[in-house]
Structure 1
Amino acid sequence: MNKHLWKSHLTPYEADYALWCAEQGALLREGRVSDIDRENLAEEIESLGRSQEDEIESRLNVLVMHLLKWRYQAGKRSPSWQASIIEQRMRISKRLKASPSLKNYPATVLDEEYVTARLRAAGETGLSEAMFPNKCPFAIEEILDPHFLPEER
């Protein structure tokens, strides 16, 4: 990246996102704060935080779905289900270590994510949605516990 970017030659945010990011990074490194696209840069930084939340939500959803399948379709348990449970827990843990301020986020979104996880578990198992409880049968501590696997019901 050219160390001497001129404001008139900066790429607009909408024109080329990758180039815009590179230019904004170079401007920051050069200390040229007055030339930075403050509004778009602020929005991008805020969206990075939201993406961490989105990842936790997605992984929690998959994790809960597999825990439901593990409990309610015990006869079809597979190593891939267990591998997915382990992976989702590890990746959630990694996110929470990188962003300690999100420590309580999984508990905050559990009820919302359970609704979708329940539907997905019913769809993937072929079991009736009514087979699964309306409320999540697992505490967030159990869900995130690397040693917890639910018993058959």
Structure 2
Amino acid sequence: MSQAMYDQDLYRWATETAGLVRDRRFSEIDALHLAEELESMGKSERRALESRLVVLLVHLLKWRHQPERCSKSWRRTLIEQRKQIAKLLHDSPSLNAQLSELTVDAYDSAVRWAADETGMDESDFPPTCEYSVRQLLDAEYYPAASTSGSSTSG
């Protein structure tokens, strides 16, 4: 299979490569690009999980720091993000081992996003994530209101 097809029509390249694999015509496979695409798929799953964690963390932070603004929409977002995270972890269980690391990375983004949405300063939020992985994934967990009293409108 040609480099040109890979560069010009990735979908066609992928479907034809899948056909070659199914037919066990391994000598015709563009192995270099196939390896790159497989690695990319794994990275994509990891990025999807981190993205879901960011959204989940944003809403947990807002829930904790602006309890007076909690809404059905926030609750639905928490439910949906947890559901999608569970699906990702079911489909790619090896990502479970990376949850703690991904949560640390996601938390920084979540704080910036939550600060922007709430009108609060980033320094109003804890410097590190206070939620355990278990709490993040627990469909019944909703954080208690912050006792710092630093709720503003936004």
Task: Report the TM-score when normalising by structure 2.
Answer: 0.89
Mapped pair 1:58 → 2:64: no
Distance 2:105 2:4 in 1: 40
Distance 2:104 2:61 in 1: 14
Alignment match, 1:77: 70
1:21-60 matches, within 5 Å, as 21-60=14-53
> Which digits, 9 at most, give the CA deviation of each residue in 1:97-147, with x for residues without a partner?
111111122212211111110010010011122211111121121111111
Whether the aligned pair in 2 keeps the contact of 1:67 and 1:150 (CA below 8 Å) is yes
Whether the aligned pair in 2 keeps the contact of 1:60 and 1:106 (CA below 8 Å) is no
Q: Letter of the aligned partner of 2:11 in structure 1? A: A
Distance 1:106 1:63 in 2: 13
Distance 2:105 2:16 in 1: 39
Alignment match, 1:4: none
Aligned residues: 146
The verdict on how the C-alpha distance between 1:27 and 1:11 changes in structure 2, with shifts beyond 3 A counting, is farther
Aligned residue among 128, 134, 151 for 1:135: 128
Q: Secondary structure at the match of 1:14?
A: helix
Task: Report the TM-score when normalising by structure 1.
Answer: 0.90
Name the Cα RMSD after superposition.
1.5
